[in-house]
Structure 1
Amino acid sequence: MKIKIVNLPLLLNREEIYPFLHLGPTPGPLPTNIQRLVDTYVGRVTQLARPKGLTRVCSINSTTGGRVMLDDADLVIAGAGATAHFSDCEKVTLLAATLGPRIDQCLAELQQRAGAADVFIFNAVAAAAAEHTIETLDALAVQDIRRNAYYPTARFSPGYGGWPLESQQEFVASIDGDRIGLSVTPHHLLQPVKSITAVVGWSRLPVTRSYEQPREKPCRSPLTCRDCPLKEKCQNPVRESPGL
């Protein structure tokens, strides 16, 4: 199946950034010095980022034993939640998005010469930008899925729901990640760092496209606790259903 390269827009708003700063989406006025740094690094990230994405549609061969086998890609979607997540699906769309290497370079420079606040806020803005790009790519995939009379599932990524992070190498190879400069380190992490891979299923039956964001979630982040980059430090995690 043809792999598509997509140039992605990047139009960040503050509400997308606040969760990555340990804030809810409407925290009220920030201290002047913090707001100045946020504005500075929104501009810097927007200037440096070169958001690109890849999509590839693959047919599903089987969904048994916690493994989703694809017909036309050397990639196995594995894990306790994989079979249930894609049980009613006939196809999947592989997604990969990256901000490009200049974000990593700028972060490394800040770590050498700037203060902790600068590094933290730049990293938070860049993380929000990466999430923005995968959401944009996801929206394009969803349009394609619905246009073909299927129902899209929620995204499912390596490292979650029991899908081993070691699968990143196979994933990136299956989608020709090098076409947008995407690679995988020996520790199975994506390079550039601000990159995301995910899979969306094509279901013949209606499914709830939800990441289970409870209304009472304290931070009001648009991310699930599972997907939040701050999950290891969070004092108020919300329990989620397995495999979502």
Structure 2
Amino acid sequence: MVESYAIDSVDRSEVLRYLGYAGQEMTAELEERIDDGVGRCLSIGAPRGTWRIFEVAGRGAKGDGTPFVRLADTSLELLGSSMQEHMDGAVAVGVMAVTVGMAVERELRCLSLTDRVGQVVFDAAATTLVERAADACEASIVSAGHERGLFSNFRFSPGYGDMPMTTQPVLLQALDAQRQLGIALTDTLLMVPTKSVTAVVGLFEAVQPSTHASCAGCACFDFCKIRPTGHTCRG
């Protein structure tokens, strides 16, 4: 399933966080540049995502002792102790990829040659935007799980913990992400467009400890498809 996300604003405090802001005094010029960078990113970004849900087909350990979670109907295996813990008890897994598109990539490359300060600001804005797109995609997985009577934990990306980056090509292939979203991989397993995110979300038969106690503060709040029905992801 491929989705487009209408995102017309991002949290400015998140942009500042990616810029390394820690309460320093900022000039009016820098404030304006940040606002301009965010506005430019929102105007040319095209947040899109694709996702699928796979049943958990089995668990075990490789010959070298590496734990794995095997998914049905795909060659994708989730490797490592982090995945063993994150997917403990999961009956299905949502697999997702999102990107904000090549226009953002081209702007970053142009700024790297012409305006280094502008590049840093725009990069922070683009990172914030792609994470918002990931929130929207995750909300779709949570909603689909809810329709099946399942509960979710939070998204977990290759490179976190000991989940290997070598997961990337198989994950993207499982989603047909190059055709659907235009996401490709370099020889070093970095995604292009660089402002792209892949992740997995566990789906369980019981509410998970990581589930928000209330809707307040949930990253998926703005994109939630469950609340309008009068229910929550907690059941």
TM normalised by structure 2 equals 0.83
Inter-partner Cα distance in structure 1 for 2:33 and 2:120: 10
Matching residue of 1:14: 12
Letter in 1 for 2:169: Q
Q: Within the alignment, does 1:47 sit opposite 2:48 as a pair?
A: no
Q: Unaligned stretches of 5+ in structure 1?
A: 212-221, 223-244
Matches within 5 A, 1:1-244: 4-10=1-7, 11-23=9-21, 27=23, 30-65=26-61, 66-114=67-115, 116-178=116-178, 179-209=180-210
- Partners in 1 of 2:72 and 2:147 — Cα distance? 22
Sort the Cα spacing of 1:7 and 1:29 in 2 relative to 1 into closer, same or farther, 3 A.
farther
Aligned-pair distance for 1:160? Answer: 1.4
* Secondary structure, counterpart of 1:173 in structure 2: helix
Tell me how far 1:146 sits from its aligned partner: 2.0
Pairwise CA distance, 1:28: 8.7
5+ long unaligned stretches in structure 2: 62-66, 213-218, 220-235
Percent identity for Structure 1 against Structure 2: 24
**Gap change, CA 1:30 and 1:144, over 3 Å in 2:** farther
Distance 1:99 1:93 in 2: 20
Question: Partner of 1:127: helix, strand, or coil?
Answer: helix
> Residue 152 of structure 2 contacts residue 211 of structure 2 at CA under 8 Å; is this kept in 1?
no
Quote the RMSD (CA, aligned, Å).
1.8
TM-score (norm 1): 0.80
Whichever residue aligns with residue 68 of structure 1, its letter is V
Aligned residue for 2:232? none
Aligned residues: 206
Counterpart contact for 1:63–1:87, Cα < 8 Å? no
Q: 1:147: how far off? A: 2.7
Cα deviation, residue 29, structure 1 = 7.3
TM superposition shift of 1:50: 0.9
Instruction: Give CA-to-partner distance per residue, 1:71-120, whole Å, 9 cap, x none.
Output: 11111111111112111111011110000011110111111111x32111
Offset at 1:159?
1.0
- Give the superposition deviation at 1:210: 6.2
Counterpart contact for 2:168–2:189, Cα < 8 Å? yes
